[in-house]
Structure 1
Amino acid sequence: MVKMATYFGMTLGAFVFWQSMEKVHVWIALHQDEKKERLEREAEIKRVREELLAQARQKDSLA
């Protein structure tokens, strides 16, 4: 009986551990995706800003 209870407890513990690790993994993956998207947006903003500054410099040099 004790062996059966121990086996059940260890199985339940392993299941709970597995599920919690899966949730942690999903959480980490989501945050990495958010960070990647944020960095891509910042790079796009920087690129557009550089283009606009280059256009403004070109416009000033022609005027």
Structure 2
Amino acid sequence: MVKVATYFAMTFGAFLFWQSMDKVHVWIALHQDEKKERLEREMAIKQVRDELLAEAKQRDSLA
């Protein structure tokens, strides 16, 4: 009886471990996706800012 209970407890513990690891992997993937999207937005903002600064310099040099 003790062996059956121990086996059940170990199996249940392994199941809980794998479920928690799955949730950790999903959280990490989402976090990486958010970081990638944030970096892409920052690059787009920087590109637009650089374009606007170049236009402003061009207008200042013409004026």
TM-score, with normalisation over the residues of structure 2? 0.96
Give the unaligned 5+ runs of structure 1: none
TM-score, with normalisation over the residues of structure 1? 0.96
User: Which residue of the partner structure matches residue 28 of structure 1?
Assistant: 28
Count of residues paired in the alignment = 63
Identical aligned residues as a percent: 81
* Counterparts of 1:9 and 1:53, CA distance in 2: 65
TM-align CA RMSD? 0.6
For residues 19-58 of structure 1, the aligned pairs below 5 Å read: 19-58=19-58
Which runs of structure 1 show a deviation greater than 4 angstroms over 4 or more consecutive aligned residues? none
Give the unaligned 5+ runs of structure 2: none
